[in-house]
Amino acid sequence: MPQVTASTGNVTAHANTSTGAEAMVRLLQGYGVRHIFGLCGDTSLPFYDALARLDHGIEHILTRDERHAAYMADAYARVTGRPGVCEGPSGGGATYILPGLVEANESSVPVLAITTDVATTSAGRFPLTELDQEALFRPLTRWNGLIRSAEVLPRMVRRAFREMTANRGGTAHLGLPFDVQKAPVPESEIWADPDFGMYPAFPAPPAADDVDALTEALLRASRPVIVCGGGVVLANAMRDLATLAETLDVAVVTSVSGQGSLAETHPNCAGVVGSNGGSAATRTLVDEADCVLFIGCRAGSVTTERWRSPTPDATILHIDADPAAIGAIYQTKAAVMADARLTLAAINRLLADVRTTPKGGAARVARAKAEKWKAFAALSRSDQTPIVPERVIAELRSSLPDDAIICADPGTPCPYFSAWYEWPRDGRHFITNRAHGALGYALAASVGAQIGRPDAKVVCAMGDGSFGMCVGELETIKRLELPITVIVFSNAVFGWIKAGQKSGFGERYFSVDFTTTDHAAVAAAFGLKSWRVEDPAGLNSVLAAALAHDGPSLVDVVSQPLQDSAAPVTEWVA
């Protein structure tokens, strides 16, 4: 990279050095970073000054709080395959940015958070906003460190990118003190390894003996089912999965995070399984299997309906890059600890030389789908008021292009979109925060997704509980003129909790209801084109207008609350 010579106020870089702030910007540039999401603060002034002065090609996206900066970086990483980068100042900025890092880390999504800090010379002297950033971030990231001197800054940045993108992947955090931002860094140290600018970098290949054992067990099965988690899409293993499913005619189901592993219109894909978005028909596929192959899936409580499906007598096989996931829940007959794409490719090479017997997966999937969609058909045409969510899903399915991206919050949107929106393409088209499920995720995620994939139509779906937690980012969407369509399921309740109180606590409702908000009016105040819909007869035309609008838009749908619905959530149905 070229040398940087600059002098601004008391920040000086000489011909053979850069300041720490300049070095940080140039290292990010070297890793191919194109966008940074963040919020300004006193301790970030040298870093912002370097961003303003240097020619680096990085666009800074100003957010309205640090939590949403991290959520934007998360979704950006999911759709681009590049690490998302977010930043914030010391003190409150560091604490606010944490929720997004927790979600991304548990989802194996590479996100780098840079939080500036008080000067190292002020540490322990009670400066404003001082806290132990290194201790704060340690249990919640894959790797983190406080940069205590400019000399170590470049190697710590390089370590952060290696940790984020290699093997399992996850988040990294760097604390950047004020004085380190102004101290000199030798030019010879400012270099990046661009191989770690994409995920997964240097994916782990499988051991041949492990592949042989797993393939042999799969071939012996009569009714195998593949359960895909988010690791399939993260590893870009979709094509190899399709080859395996078609070669053996195996039924495929997914977790919520695994949607996109196989197009849900594919004859071998039955869609989501589990307690959130699954159905009796998809559960039956898993329960009747004599062999279940988990791929990039931790087999957690939601996917397995609290570890009851698959049944104990099924043979369990597992492919995962994370050794902690294998054997954690089920006794495993054969396992491969490696990258999903490389492992599936190795299995497919073995099968190319073997005469295989079709496993009848497509026929079983067809029967399951017929049963599943029968339950949806009547509700999808319902004229009931308040508007049932199934009607909204049906209208969107008929209106959105195949390459659309939907970002959905927990609560009302997640189970409905997971169960009833049939994704016509593989890959990353559905984004929701399944690791920790914090409300207020989807609006910021839609910003990251739209910036990362600008040619796609992006839809944000949220409940009004989530709306109250993220409404400020409507200003960000309007300022950037992003053509995102926001859909609010408006029912004035924290519906997931109220539904749980109904099903499990004798309908003793406590502290879950709030007053109705005119979300369309709020959006209009921010400058968005907006509509409010109460009559299902007008839903189609309003959605069409919102989706066709060339700027940001919002549709406030007065909708059925979850406690009164037929939501695809096992514990409520039971």
Q: How far is CA 31 from CA 257, 285, 376, in A?
A: 27, 44, 46
For the cut 50, the answer to whether the pLDDT of residue 91 exceeds it is yes
DSSP class of 538: G
**Residue 169 pLDDT grade (very low, low, confident, very high; cuts 50, 70, 90):** confident
- The answer to whether 282 and 372 have CB atoms below 8 angstroms apart is yes
Taking each helix axis as running N to C, give the angle between helix 389-399 and helix 361-380, from 0 to 180 degrees, rounded to the nearest 10.
110
Which segment of 2-11, 307-316, 346-355, 492-501 scores lowest on mean pLDDT? Answer: 2-11
The predicted pLDDT at position 3 comes to 37
Characterize the bridge pairing of strands 17-19 and 171-177. unpaired
Superfamily of domain 208-364: TPP-binding domain (3.40.50.1220)
Token pair for 42: 């006193």
Assigned fold of 381-573: Rossmann fold (3.40.50)
Q: How far apart are CA 509 and CA 415, in angstroms?
A: 22
Instruction: Give the tens place of pLDDT for each residue, 515-531.
Output: 999 999 999 999 999 99
Residue ranges per structural domain of the chain: 6-197, 208-364, 381-573
Strand partners, 558: 490
For the cut 90, the answer to whether the pLDDT of residue 540 exceeds it is yes
The predicted pLDDT at position 170 comes to 95
For the cut 60, the answer to whether the pLDDT of residue 5 exceeds it is no
- The answer to whether 483 and 554 have CB atoms below 8 angstroms apart is no
For the cut 50, the answer to whether the pLDDT of residue 383 exceeds it is yes
Please state whether the peptide bond connecting residue 310 to the residue before it is cis, i.e. omega within 30 degrees of 0: yes
Q: pTM value?
A: 0.95
The predicted pLDDT at position 1 comes to 36
**Residue 314 pLDDT grade (very low, low, confident, very high; cuts 50, 70, 90):** very high
- The answer to whether 408 and 432 have CB atoms below 8 angstroms apart is yes
| Strands across the sheet containing 485-490 | 430-432, 405-408, 458-463, 485-490, 553-558, 529-533
Q: How far apart are CA 165 and CA 198, in angstroms?
A: 7
For the cut 90, the answer to whether the pLDDT of residue 9 exceeds it is no
Give the SS3 label for residue 209. helix
DSSP class of 166: B
- The answer to whether 278 and 309 have CB atoms below 8 angstroms apart is no
Instruction: Give the tens place of pLDDT for each residue, 41-89.
Output: 999 999 999 999 999 999 999 999 999 999 999 999 999 999 999 999 9
6-197 has which CATH code?
3.40.50.970
The predicted pLDDT at position 15 comes to 58
Examine domains 208-364 and 381-573 and report if their fold is the same: yes
The predicted pLDDT at position 458 comes to 98
Instruction: Give the tens place of pLDDT for each residue, 260-307.
Output: 999 999 999 999 999 999 999 999 999 999 999 999 999 999 999 999
For the cut 60, the answer to whether the pLDDT of residue 7 exceeds it is no
- The answer to whether 117 and 70 have CB atoms below 8 angstroms apart is no
Which residues, at least 6 apart from 369, have a Cβ–Cβ distance to it below 8 Å? 270, 271, 281
Percentage of the chain modeled with pLDDT above 70: 97
Quick one: average pLDDT of 395-405? 97
